[in-house]
Amino acid sequence: MALGGMGVAGLLCHTTGSPMTLSAQALLWMAVFVWIVSVCTCFLFSSGRKAWIGLGGCCALVWLLFLILKNVIR
């Protein structure tokens, strides 16, 4: 989910992927934030199965959004 979020934000910000740019550094730190939030939210579910379904569905939606934006922004 964090990598998909980085991809979506990178497409929306039109980053080049060079680690020397400010936008690439912001994306790197955003991935850490999204990772920490997703690990913390797994404890909000009442069972492991619900956590896998909820977070897996969210991950699938993020990657679907990335693929759609990648084909639209070209």
Q: Please tell me the predicted confidence (pLDDT) of residue 2.
A: 87
Question: For the chain, which residues make up each domain, given as ranges?
Answer: 2-73
Amino acid at 42: C
**Cα dihedral: 41, 44, 46, 47 (round 10):** 20
Positions of the chain with pLDDT under 50: none
Whole-number pLDDT of residue 71: 93
pLDDT at 54: 93
- Full-model pTM: 0.81
What integer pLDDT is reported at residue 64 of this predicted model? 97
pLDDT of residue 50: 94
The pLDDT of residue 46 is 94
